[in-house]
């Protein structure tokens, strides 16, 4: 069932993104007077197709990893004399630029719409209150104190941990200073801190900027009480039930939930004798945590149980909600910030400041899409916006085969007044295909290694 959910999440996500992207090309092409022959979502043999009154074919194909819009073009076959005015290659260079750019622009518009829905409907965010500062860490050396709230990073206001994480993530690979302003939690006194970095986290696989800087977010005290038991897990097989309080493990008193997690993770494939409190009575049982291997090679224990919901202090959980028009400006600003962050990350990856191991392919996208869908509408919409922005940015890169490569040729034509020679275009397309194939191989390899 898990695999089916993952596959369905991938199909839905890619289906939305591809349809929006290709519809951007389609919509502008129609308005520029170009005859569209086919609009396909997916590749391969069509599962379902139909035609409109203009003769355009619409198809849903069985390989849901892309799509395309086929337009009338003399470079791709013979065009009847009466149809030549409607051919793509007969249109002015500026119309061709508009048609090619429309796909990525449509992806950015989708992201703006997704963020607008989130800002208008409202979402919850955790205040960036620091729970602990690791000794001898960059944040500790800069004087950052526990139980203080992050106010701004590099002059940019932060409202939640997501804001703080994204702001720090933009500094990965940098050399210089990170300026952090904190304020007493529910107080007024502010303090500025300066963290010096040198090629910070350069080349790190899946960098975690909060951990690297030495900051641990505040989390409420969790009692060692079982809140959820997953089917077919070690917890269910051992007889643990919702509401059980773990009192001791192998004779050691269990202080809180995190202590219990630490004990479980340190005991893979090892029997643990538990003393539990169930309905005011003490009982004992034996559990053997399953072994789970992490990406970094570590082996930990896992029982398939979760804690009861946390009770956060008043004011710690914030509601993010704006009016209709205000949501538009925030959505545009958020999309612009994500575009800049994506471009910055690509640039750092090219020069080696960010590891290529962070590239992801369809397997990782499918897994994250599935997890986002399980997390609810808000989580999935946020993921959809991020992937839509990534798709738009990647398609605008000046790589022949991609939209950005075609734009590069057409802009050169607009500047020089004549088309780029056919041989040069063909060479560029072959080079672009090789580069794209290389990136896809790396992404697939990274996906497999993550599995």
444 shares a domain with 406: yes
Looking at 22, 141, 192, 422, which residue is catalytic? Answer: 22
Please check whether residue 347 lies inside any domain of the structure: yes
- The C-alpha atoms of residue 449 and residue 53 are separated, in whole angstroms, by 49
192 shares a domain with 164: yes
Please check whether residue 80 lies inside any domain of the structure: no
355 shares a domain with 370: yes
333 shares a domain with 447: yes
172 shares a domain with 253: no
Please check whether residue 300 lies inside any domain of the structure: yes
Query: What integer pLDDT is reported at residue 451 of this predicted model?
Result: 63
412 shares a domain with 427: yes
Q: At which of 251, 272, 307 does a domain end?
A: 307
22 is catalytic: yes
205 shares a domain with 291: no
424 shares a domain with 338: yes
pLDDT digits (tens, 9 = 90+) for 227-275: 999 988 999 999 999 999 999 999 999 999 989 999 999 999 999 999 9
Please check whether residue 78 lies inside any domain of the structure: no
pLDDT digits (tens, 9 = 90+) for 194-216: 999 899 988 887 788 999 999 99
Q: What is the mean pLDDT of the chain?
A: 90
**Which residues, at least 6 apart from 361, have a Cβ–Cβ distance to it below 8 Å?**
440, 443, 444, 446, 447
pLDDT digits (tens, 9 = 90+) for 111-159: 999 999 999 998 888 999 999 999 999 999 999 999 999 999 999 999 9
Q: At which of 282, 307, 332 does a domain end?
A: 307
Please check whether residue 245 lies inside any domain of the structure: yes
243 shares a domain with 212: no
**392 lies in which domain range?**
111-120+323-451
Please check whether residue 449 lies inside any domain of the structure: yes
353 shares a domain with 331: yes
- The C-alpha atoms of residue 216 and residue 319 are separated, in whole angstroms, by 22
The CATH number of whichever domain residue 284 belongs to comes to 2.30.42.10
342 shares a domain with 276: no
Closest CA to 27 of 65, 63, 61, 56: 56
- The C-alpha atoms of residue 51 and residue 5 are separated, in whole angstroms, by 32
pLDDT at residue 366 greater than cutoff 90:
no
Please check whether residue 101 lies inside any domain of the structure: no
Query: What integer pLDDT is reported at residue 295 of this predicted model?
Result: 59
Least confident segment among 5-9, 80-84, 166-170, 219-223:
5-9
DSSP string covering 336-377 = HHHHHHHHHHHHHHHTTSS-GGG---HHHHHHHHHHHHHT-H
Number of domains in the chain: 3
Query: What integer pLDDT is reported at residue 186 of this predicted model?
Result: 84
Position of tokens 């970094």? 296
331 shares a domain with 392: yes
Please check whether residue 376 lies inside any domain of the structure: yes
Position of tokens 């538990």? 274
pLDDT at residue 377 greater than cutoff 60:
yes
CB 115 within 8 A of CB 331: yes
- DSSP H helices, 59-126, are 93-121
């Amino acid at each position: 069932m898990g695999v089916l959910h993952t596959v369905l999440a991938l199909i839905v996500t890619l289906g939305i993104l591809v349809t929006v992207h290709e519809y951007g090309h389609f919509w502008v092409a129609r308005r520029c007077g170009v005859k569209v022959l086919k609009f396909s979502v997916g590749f391969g043999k069509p599962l379902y197709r139909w035609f409109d009154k203009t003769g355009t074919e619409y198809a849903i194909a069985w390989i849901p990893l892309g799509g395309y819009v086929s337009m009338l073009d003399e470079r791709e076959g013979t065009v009847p004399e009466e149809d030549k005015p409607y051919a793509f290659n007969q249109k002015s260079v500026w119309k061709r630029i508009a048609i090619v750019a429309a796909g990525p622009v449509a992806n950015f518009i989708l992201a703006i719409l997704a963020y607008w829905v989130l800002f208008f409907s409202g979402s919850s965010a955790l205040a960036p209150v620091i729970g602990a500062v690791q000794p001898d860490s960059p944040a500790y050396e800069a004087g950052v104190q526990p139980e203080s709230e992050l106010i701004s990073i590099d002059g940019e206001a932060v409202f939640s941990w997501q804001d703080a994480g994204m702001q720090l993530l933009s500094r990965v690979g940098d050399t210089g200073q990170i300026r952090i302003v904190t304020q007493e939690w529910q107080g007024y006194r502010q303090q500025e801190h300066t963290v010096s970095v040198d090629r910070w986290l350069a080349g790190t696989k899946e960098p975690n900027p909060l951990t690297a800087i030495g900051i641990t977010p505040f989390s409420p005290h969790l009692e060692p009480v079982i809140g959820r038991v997953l089917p077919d897990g070690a917890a269910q097989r051992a007889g643990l039930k919702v509401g059980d309080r773990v009192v001791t493990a192998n004779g050691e008193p269990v202080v809180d939930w995190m202590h219990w997690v630490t004990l479980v993770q340190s005991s893979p494939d090892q029997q643990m004798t538990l003393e539990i409190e169930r309905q005011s009575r003490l009982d004992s049982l034996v559990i053997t945590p399953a072994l789970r291997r992490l990406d970094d090679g570590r082996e930990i224990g896992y029982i398939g149980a979760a804690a009861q919901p946390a009770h956060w202090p008043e004011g710690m959980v914030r509601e993010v909600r704006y009016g209709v028009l205000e949501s538009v400006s925030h959505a545009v600003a958020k999309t612009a910030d994500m575009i800049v962050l994506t471009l910055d990350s690509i640039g750092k990856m090219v020069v080696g400041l960010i590891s290529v191991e962070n590239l992801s392919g369809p397997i990782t996208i499918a897994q994250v899409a599935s997890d986002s869908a399980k997390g609810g509408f808000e989580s999935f919409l946020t993921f959809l916006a991020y992937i839509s922005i990534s798709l738009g940015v990647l398609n605008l890169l000046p790589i022949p085969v991609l939209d950005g490569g075609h734009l590069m040729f057409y802009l050169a034509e607009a500047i020089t007044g004549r088309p780029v020679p056919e041989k040069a275009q063909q060479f560029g397309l072959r080079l672009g295909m090789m580069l794209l194939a290389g990136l896809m191989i790396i992404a697939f390899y990274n996906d497999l290694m993550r599995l």
